[in-house]
Chains A and B, each alone.
Chain A
Amino acid sequence: MKDADLPPHMRPERSFQGLILALQRFWADWGCVILQPYDMEVGAGTFHPATTLRALGPRPWNAAYVQPSRRPKDGRYGENPNRLQHYYQFQVILKPSPPDLQELYLKSLYAIGIDPAVHDIRFVEDDWESPTLGAWGLGWECWCDGMEVSQFTYFQQVAGFECRPVSGELTYGLERLAMYVQGVDRVFDLNFNGRDDARKVTYGDVFLQAEQEYSRHNFEHADVEMLFEQFKMAEAACRKYLEAGWADGGEDAKTRRHLMALPAYDQCIKASHVFNLLDARGVISVTERQSYILRVRELARACGEAWLATEAGGAA
């Protein structure tokens, strides 16, 4: 898969976008649908309905996509060489998990310039859990020469429901991988477009200002009152859509159908992000924190239940 014919500026080890393109090509070639990022603020690629909801139910599903991820608390005003409040994840979800998933993953690393003949690739225990999504799975963090570059998970439960079949999920930390293959110590120094002349654009050129501005916003100025209100609204809307979405006559748990699982789930995503912002603002106490997490999880569970009553969720 490693394409020697690529022009230098397109190569994954020289260009951030080249790395993304290489991963997309690799997984497209394997048979995934390549999706575009979900158009909402999420904390991780897992929140994309293409993972959360599609992991539920019996239908096979293979998808890969880049997902911009927001972690308001991780903002460092652009001053930390590694931490960002907005970064990219490359997400692969394969249902059922193929038997050679580890091999595929290693080949994908090879495709972006990480050769296991000279690097030390390790699968180190890391059990994944998302309290807000009511999801957990077993797997590893994948190390390359001591650096965690991906998360590898076999989903066991999502939204409180058992996954049958089990999906395999790969999450590549794109900035980390790019820093590694480009040999860069500061994320903002990453070469974004692979050019070395006047046309060179760095990650800092694209995102440094945003990191500074959003850090100010997340920690100091995000409108707390509005956010509290938004949380309540999103929560209420989610419940409203869920209730309205049950088709008439759907008393029987086996045959009932839901017609609005996706719009309802959007509101769950919304609530989750708003909670993250409130958390970053430091206005949620330790005790309240748990109850907010439980409220989001409850929404996720109800959305999962609705999804399982849709066609894509496998309802007959």
Chain B
Amino acid sequence: MRSEALADLQQARAAKRPVVFATRLSDGFQCLLPSSSASAALNESAHRALSRDENATKEIEGESWFLHAYSPPVRLVIVGAVHIAQSLVPMCAPLGFDLIVVDPRRSFATEERFPNVTLMDDWPDDAMEKIAPDARTGVVTLTHDPKLDDPALDRALKSDAFYIGSLGSRKTHAARLGRLAALGHSEATLARIKGPVGLDIGAVSPPEIALSILAEFVAYRRTIGQTT
């Protein structure tokens, strides 16, 4: 690997540009894809690798190529800079997720409580407008406050977010679904919301609840939510 090629790759990753680092296994020739100087077949394989988040050796035009897909990190939007969010943040780092914590209440979303995290103090609907959740984004609401949770969920349901979760008891969740239905969301759409949020591991403490949420989030990312 040439140091220049490595620097180009790291630059693309830092800019959160989805790229494939392609290696021709017969001689070690390498290039970044997609590229205007690469063949259509190579570029097409690169697009497929990115959409599937897949690293694999492929036979392309009589040569073996290793296509290493570098997609931007999966994002997790947390609405509510609450106690459970404080547990979620450090757990996300080793998993490689990009975190955004949304809370318009200034005393909650402070740098002191959430060091080194992207904090947004917009109202959740404005924040979601800016974040524009895509198929690599998950949204979890934690505030228990309909004024904050509902607009975030409303926007999440209108987006391609692959995972939507909302903290609250079964009773709270049923009431929440009623309010969102009144906003015009169908039953099928509302079924996208995981509520009560998280895998049922009998979680009690905030770190345990955070763990159950992240376990469900990973399950969706790796298996259940796979669309391609």
A and B are interacting partners: no
